[in-house]
Structure 1
Amino acid sequence: MTAPTLEVRNLCTHFFTRAGVVRAVDDVSFTVRRGQVLGLVGESGSGKTVTGFSIMGLVDAPGRIVSGSILFQGKDLASLSEEEMRHLRGNRIAMIFQDPMMTLNPVLRIDTQMIETVQAHEKVSDDEARARARDALGMVGIPSPDERLKSYPHQFSGGMRQRVAIAIALLHRPDLIVADEPTTALDVTIQGQILAEVQKLCANTGTAMIWITHDLSVVAGLADDIAVMYAGKVVEYGDVGEVLDTPLHPYTHGLIGSVPSRNKRGEPLRQIPGMTPSLLNLPEGCAFRARCPRAQTDCVQRPELREWLPARFARCHHPHREEAAAA
């Protein structure tokens, strides 16, 4: 087996506020290999986006990485200087943000921004950079790309701006892309088109991808592996088909059970009771125990992420092991 493109080990990113320490990412580990897509899922506030920002070196004060390692092709990103990260960021590692205006400058034409992006990392002519920009726009389904290159961001709809942001991330065919819910604002037909292009890119070029989302249906059709986050921790990790078919962790079980299509017609929608705990004041032991139907007295002890079945990991004292093993 070749070395993984990205290996995150025991990553902890905390925010030091006046109210206390927010453990936004707390002991997160996963691996993404060449050509593989990892789905990073969980509800709002679970730590998904901060994990992505930590990988990209984009965590601002009062937040910082306090421990752990982020190995990109064997090099620890957490130990690199800002100048070293700048050479990698946008070139070998790219991020697609949820808000396209975090990528686009509102006062510059699209061609100016895309040509500058190409020439920031490669010595190519304006004509060659423009051709690559045009091809990237076509890849994400923007019609008349030559004409649209001359437009400003405000002349695009929200969905079209997002497609431009995705095209910019694809310009250098990076080794790793971190995508933070990039298709949330797009209609389902365009979403399907972009997901197909992303799969093709990963398969043909060997690009590894982390797809951050709360949409299990997107992950089911796109990802190879899935990591489920809750309260800053990965609570389940494994093959996407196995995890979604026979989840081990009660939280994953509840997430999948609350999808409307899994409820019988006329019955009340299932939901996970209670609320996500505050990251400023997490309970002792398992953070999910107050909402968990399988919680027992030993859940006041902190569970570790352990391998309950071959290549199936869960951070739980009482997982749905029997159901998964019988499947």
Structure 2
Amino acid sequence: MSVLDIRDLQTHFFTDDGVVKAVDGVSFSLDAGEVLGLVGESGSGKSVTGFSILRLVDPPGRVVGGEILFHGQDLAQLSNREMRSLRGNRIAMIFQDPMMTLNPVLRIETQMVEAVRAHERISHAAARDRAITTLAKVGIPSPAERLAAYPHQFSGGMRQRVAIAIALLNGPELIVADEPTTALDVTIQSQILAEVQELARETGTALIWITHDLAVVAGLADKISVMYAGRIVESGPTDQVLAAPQHPYTAGLLGSIPGHGRRGERLTQIPGMAPSMSRLPAGCAFAPRCDLASEMCRSTAPMVTETGAGQGYRCHHPNAAQKVAT
């Protein structure tokens, strides 16, 4: 049985301008120790997907359909109290801004010890020892001494490491990481990516890594799901999707990565902007920005097509999409 099985997830926001279908029929599964890269531009629905899994979507948004199966149990059907017992314990989230996790007026020791004792009957000393061990795992030097520090006394990279450590404290079976390295410099980012990947393999934790950058997940994720306008437009094993993208949006994201094309060539630019989620065009949502779009694309939304090798896509012209990538 999969650790996580998302089936036709739908999360809508009910606004004065109409219903915004932020997540519209998203499906994927994740096994123990597996890393999924959830990729897309800002506003594609990837972060809302992560918040929906942990039931953290605030009004006027709510999950209106689908199943969120965690070890076969539908999280959408649990009470608020049952969800609180899971969050930070068996399921954890790493936010883009570590200060969403860390309380600026409490020492790191207080925050980490409370995170352990909220879910487990354990002494303060034992919880402190676990905090020290976990800080060491994520590369915090002199972890016992740093427990006495406040969040503002850490650099941005160190604060994010502490946030990751808090997520790992209780040995969760699933972690949702929402662009946790976006604000960090490249050197720190690569260190954290390597550490997170190693920790996932060592502990068997399933990981969803949400990002806008395909280059980040290329060396991290076992499989990729590319989101656009609230839907997954392509998914499959990482190497397979990157080598032979079936959707022109995936090809466009790849073409915009420095070093992906031939030396001296200009980077590919995806024309236009992502559509308003409250006013999506008829047919394929990517059609207005796609050089390959036909009348069929503008009038008929493509269904999911499976390649037979674990790769799926929503596109009427998949063969042409591969040519775009090359």
Q: TM-score, normalised by structure 2?
A: 0.95
2:314 — aligned with what?
Answer: 315
Give 1:185 shift: 2.5
For 2:266 and 2:287, the matched residues in 1 are separated by 24
For 1:81 and 1:320, the matched residues in 2 are separated by 46
Which segment drifts farther, 90-99 or 295-304? 295-304
1:283 — aligned with what?
Answer: 281
The one-letter code matched in structure 1 to 2:223 is D
Which segment drifts farther, 26-35 or 255-264? 255-264
Give 1:321 shift: 7.3
**Structure 1 residues 20 and 153: CA distance shift in structure 2, 3 A:** same
Superposition pairs of residues 40-59 of structure 1, within 5 angstroms: 40-59=38-57
The answer to whether the 8 Å contact 2:39/2:212 transfers is yes
Q: Aligned pair count?
A: 323
Superposition pairs of residues 1-327 of structure 1, within 5 angstroms: 3-299=1-297, 300-320=299-319, 323=322
Give 1:208 shift: 0.5
For 2:257 and 2:193, the matched residues in 1 are separated by 21
Give 1:128 shift: 0.8
For 1:223 and 1:260, the matched residues in 2 are separated by 20
Instruction: Give the RMSD, CA atoms, in angstroms.
Output: 1.6
For 1:20 and 1:298, the matched residues in 2 are separated by 27
- Secondary structure class of the residue paired with 1:91: coil
Give 1:322 shift: 9.0
Deviations for 1:303-322, whole angstroms, at most 9, x for unmatched residues? 12221342110011111279
- Secondary structure class of the residue paired with 2:259: helix
For 2:6 and 2:264, the matched residues in 1 are separated by 44
For 1:246 and 1:140, the matched residues in 2 are separated by 34
**Structure 1 residues 202 and 268: CA distance shift in structure 2, 3 A:** closer
- Secondary structure class of the residue paired with 1:261: coil
Give 1:141 shift: 1.2
Q: TM-score, normalised by structure 1?
A: 0.95
For 2:321 and 2:82, the matched residues in 1 are separated by 48
Give 1:323 shift: 5.0
For 2:185 and 2:165, the matched residues in 1 are separated by 17
The one-letter code matched in structure 1 to 2:79 is S
For 2:9 and 2:143, the matched residues in 1 are separated by 41
* Structure 1 runs, 4 residues or longer, greater than 4 Å off: 321-324
Deviations for 1:91-124, whole angstroms, at most 9, x for unmatched residues? 0000000011110111111000000000011111
Give 1:265 shift: 4.0
The answer to whether the 8 Å contact 1:247/1:320 transfers is no
The answer to whether the 8 Å contact 1:24/1:46 transfers is yes
The one-letter code matched in structure 2 to 1:249 is H
The one-letter code matched in structure 2 to 1:132 is R
Uncovered stretches (5+) of structure 1, i.e. residues with no partner: none
The answer to whether the 8 Å contact 2:248/2:322 transfers is no
- Secondary structure class of the residue paired with 1:182: coil
For 1:137 and 1:302, the matched residues in 2 are separated by 48
For 1:51 and 1:314, the matched residues in 2 are separated by 18
Which segment drifts farther, 23-32 or 253-262? 253-262
Give 1:162 shift: 1.1
The one-letter code matched in structure 2 to 1:211 is W
**Structure 1 residues 309 and 293: CA distance shift in structure 2, 3 A:** farther
